[in-house]
Amino acid sequence: MAKLYYKFGAMGSSKTASALMCRFNYLQKGISVLLLKPKLDTRSKENEVTSRIGLTAPCVSFAENESIADLFAAANEKEKVEVVIVDECQFCTKKQIDQLREIAESVPVLCYGLKTNFKGELFEGSKRLLEVSDSIQEVKSVCECGKKAIMNGRFVKGLIVTEGEEVVIGGDEKYRSLCWSCFKKEQNKALIYQKIIKYLKIFDNMDSAGDWSGDTAIDNIVMHTPHVIYDEEVQNFINDFKTFQIKDPQKVLLIDDNIATLRKIPMKDKNFDYMMNLISYALKLEKIKPGLLKTLIEEGTVTKWLRQIKKCVG
């Protein structure tokens, strides 16, 4: 019995490979297949569907303003079409999905594609498919952390973005499939980068980060131990970073609390997460080693750390 099938999954879940294997199985049994894909997908030749694992097959491509009903009728005149398979179906318009719905009254129609865009919002085509499909099946894949991937993160220079055009064609160089937790973690990472990278230029030109004081009242409390009253820009840096401080950074760093150790940490191959832990550790040590941050800023060590953070995101 003819039905409209919608098979969705995050990027890299082998949706296209599944579509091509499905086509092969039908052809092997002598069943004719019309393979379609939107012209918006420019990662391969216009009239070819190609998967990441190297499977390819000829197809008929269509533009947003073209009628899939007309393409089906034209193909049917040449050879009776018994099955329709659509790759990257999320790029279809609502009208085109409705045409596929009508075609599915006579032959099976199998649609493969994404469910949501890089913002986590439904594409026009996927929204309509969720509304009118007879069968909805998830093609599962895993996040880099091992959990199920449900989000399609778009990355620019190593940072996730949540603003921009809905359709930006790309593969692994632009997108990563993520679980919800990692998706939010990457958004948090992008937010802190925007907040703290401005201090690279500020600290690079800073001669003094603050002044020592022994008995100055702070919040109506008189401090009787040596401490530093930091300049406004340094205090802003501390406040901006507070939201993102890591609870136990030393567990990741596995280093002692000696300032000489902090100075000597090589930057080669240190990633963004390591650098975040390192800054968190320095801010934590400041509470028990007053003036440590002042020294690290004035001698250029924090500037070196911020440079490495900038390098990490390209």
- Are the C-beta atoms of residues 43 and 87 closer than 8 Å to each other? no
Paired residues of 8 in beta bridges: 113, 138
Rounded Cα–Cα distance for residues 262 and 295 (Å): 11
Catalytic residue among 66, 82, 88, 186: 88
- Sheet strands (E) in 43-114: 48-50, 56-58, 60-62, 83-86, 109-113
Q: Which of 176, 196, 195 is nearest to 186 (CA)?
A: 176
Q: How many residues does the chain have?
A: 314
| Amino acid residing at 203 | F
Active site residue 105: no
What's the start-to-end Cα distance of the chain, in Å?
A: 53
Q: Which residues make Cβ contacts (< 8 Å) with residue 293, sequence separation at least 6? A: 209, 228, 230, 234, 238, 282, 283, 286, 302
Antiparallel, parallel or unpaired: β 210-213 and 175-178: unpaired
Radius of gyration of the chain (CA): 28
- Residues with catalytic roles: 88
